[in-house]
Amino acid sequence: MFQFIAPPLPHYITCGEDIYPIGGIHPDRSGIGVFDLIFVTRGCLFLEEELTMLTVSAGHYAILRPDRSHRTARPCLEETHFYWLHFQTLGSWNEVSEQDSSLPAFEGHPLYQIEKFSIYISQQGAPLLPGQVEELLRRLMLLHPEQTVSARWKQQTCFQDLLSMLQQTEGGEVQNPHLKVAELAGEYLRRHYREPISYKRMSEALHFHSNYIAICMKKTFGCTPLEYLTRHRIEQAKQTLIHTDDPIGRVAEQTGFGSFPYFVRSFARYTGHTPKSFRQLYRK
């Protein structure tokens, strides 16, 4: 399967459709520089990407890599109709055997941190809703001749809906268990960050031992649950300091810090500023 790191999201380039007669073949290509998505609605394509065989029957799709050669492994045995779509990403991507449990770290501006995430799409499969996939491809075909900014915007949003559909495939890969537990724990901590949280309480809520939760979060986010919680509280405190005139002591209380001195120390450690100097920096 392919792993795309976002943001930025993969972006749509162009699309089309074709019909091959019996004996028809797909052109041989090498290193075309874009991902080639093929969705068959009738018949079957028999393709080969270097040493990988890709049999794409009706209701199925395949994605060809931008950096490899591909060719017809076998001519069509019946009339075959398919849509094709080219896309690319400005972010990093990789081909993986399973969903990776390690996620990219926070980065970006001190005020607005960008938390990256992974998008996983199998190289080939059958979407659970093939009719909707075909409808999205038809919509992209209708938008293709238009050159307005509005049309280009609609093309990209339509393409994102298409990627979402391709993530929902029959027989999809089981999510990495460490990643699943870490995401559950992260969601729990973000939802309850204003409250006093203990390992025991989190363990009882998630039905996993606290040591196992800590291991999963360390593998996925590179930090302990306490560090994750503190980082999230700091991010919420940043927004409160910028957008309100609340006293700093109240900001500490609202974001779950039980101790004002601990809040000041933690804020300075994560941001390089005291809460007061941070507010002054962005509220001149």
116 closest CA partner among 248, 266, 7: 7
Question: Do the domain assignments include residue 40?
Answer: yes
- Number of domains into which the chain is organized: 2
Q: Are residues 161 and 205 in the same domain?
A: no
Q: Are residues 140 and 217 in the same domain?
A: no
89: domain CATH number is: 2.60.120.280
Q: Are residues 101 and 185 in the same domain?
A: no
- Of the three residues 117, 148, 167, the one that is the final residue of a domain is 167
The whole-number pLDDT of residue 191 equals 94
User: Rounded to two decimals, what is the model's pTM?
Assistant: 0.71
The whole-number pLDDT of residue 171 equals 46
182: domain CATH number is: 1.10.10.60
The whole-number pLDDT of residue 281 equals 87
- Of the three residues 167, 189, 218, the one that is the final residue of a domain is 167
The whole-number pLDDT of residue 173 equals 47
Q: Are residues 159 and 187 in the same domain?
A: no
- Percent with pLDDT over 90 in the chain: 69
- Of the three residues 141, 167, 193, the one that is the final residue of a domain is 167
Q: Which domain holds residue 251?
A: 177-282
The whole-number pLDDT of residue 103 equals 53
Q: Are residues 144 and 257 in the same domain?
A: no
Sequential pLDDT tens for the chain (284 residues): 888 988 899 999 999 999 999 999 988 989 899 999 999 999 999 999 988 999 999 999 999 999 999 999 999 999 999 999 999 999 999 888 766 555 555 555 555 566 677 788 999 999 988 999 999 999 999 998 888 999 999 999 999 999 999 987 654 444 578 888 988 999 999 999 999 999 999 999 999 999 999 999 988 888 899 999 999 999 999 999 989 999 999 999 999 998 999 999 999 998 899 999 999 888 76
Q: Are residues 114 and 221 in the same domain?
A: no
The whole-number pLDDT of residue 172 equals 45
Q: Are residues 21 and 133 in the same domain?
A: yes
Q: Are residues 143 and 236 in the same domain?
A: no
Q: Are residues 65 and 116 in the same domain?
A: yes
Question: Do the domain assignments include residue 73?
Answer: yes
Q: Which tokens sit at 241?
A: 């300091």
Q: Are residues 28 and 114 in the same domain?
A: yes
Q: Are residues 185 and 85 in the same domain?
A: no
Q: Are residues 184 and 159 in the same domain?
A: no
Question: Do the domain assignments include residue 182?
Answer: yes
